[in-house]
Chains A and B, each alone.
Chain A
Amino acid sequence: NAGVTQTPKFQVLKTGQSMTLQCAQDMNHNSMYWYRQDPGMGLRLIYYSASEGTTDKGEVPNGYNVSRLNKREFSLRLESAAPSQTSVYFCASSLLAGSYNEQFFGPGTRLTVL
């Protein structure tokens, strides 16, 4: 069991470039999430997918799009990267979206936008 995997681990972009962060889980979880972590800001939810075929905005969705490709995969796209999107991005999954389901996190993608 690999758990939650993320690619790439590191990425440097120029302002205006686009890229897609990939996330996959092999735990047969229904719900998946994208967070960003900035110094002194904790983890902030960007988008989540409660189940296959659904996506919803989180706390900081502007500048991002997501795709729940299938039950295993949930991708995050930056259409036109900005320096403010420099951050560490974490993907997570949980069995269900309800209250009593812990989230399992991937190792993160460190993104720098110049």
Chain B
Amino acid sequence: DQQVKQNSPSLSVQEGRISILNCDYTNSMFDYFLWYKKYPAEGPTFLISISSIKDKNEDGRFTVFLNKSAKHLSLHIVPSQPGDSAVYFCAARDDKIIFGKGTRLHILP
């Protein structure tokens, strides 16, 4: 039973436009959420996080929104750049981190 769900396996976005990656979760005990980015043949790298007591966290072009009542979070990338093409993993933790299956983002020229 998946506790962290990324329902879109892939997403294509035009360069310069907004990329929105979505993530749903089922466990209301999760108190911290993270996004990781992964390039081929490399390990995941931490991108941005948000505590369950907040509804928004921003870092440069990246913003994460948390809607606790809907058990939903999203990652916004504005503007999208070619280097943003990667797999993005949503993750959530109670005592351990649980990862989603990932969404592959393609930034189109």
Which residues of A are at the interface with B, using a C-beta cutoff of 8 A? 4, 35, 40-45, 48, 58-59, 90, 92, 99-100, 102-108
Which residues of B are at the interface with A, using a C-beta cutoff of 8 A? 4, 6, 9, 31-32, 34, 36, 41-46, 49, 51, 89, 93, 96-102
Determine the residue in chain B with the shortest Cβ distance to A108: B43
Contact A43 B99 (CB under 8 A): yes
Contact A90 B44 (CB under 8 A): yes
Contact A100 B51 (CB under 8 A): yes
A42-B102, A48-B96, A102-B49 are known contacts. Are A107 and B43 too (CB-CB below 8 A)? yes
Cα separation A107 to B100 with both chains bound (whole Å)? 19
User: In angstroms, how far is the closest chain A Cβ from the Cβ of B6?
Assistant: 8
User: In angstroms, how far is the closest chain A Cβ from the Cβ of B21?
Assistant: 14
Contact A106 B101 (CB under 8 A): no
Cα separation A45 to B105 with both chains bound (whole Å)? 24
Cα separation A106 to B44 with both chains bound (whole Å)? 8
Contact B43 A105 (CB under 8 A): yes
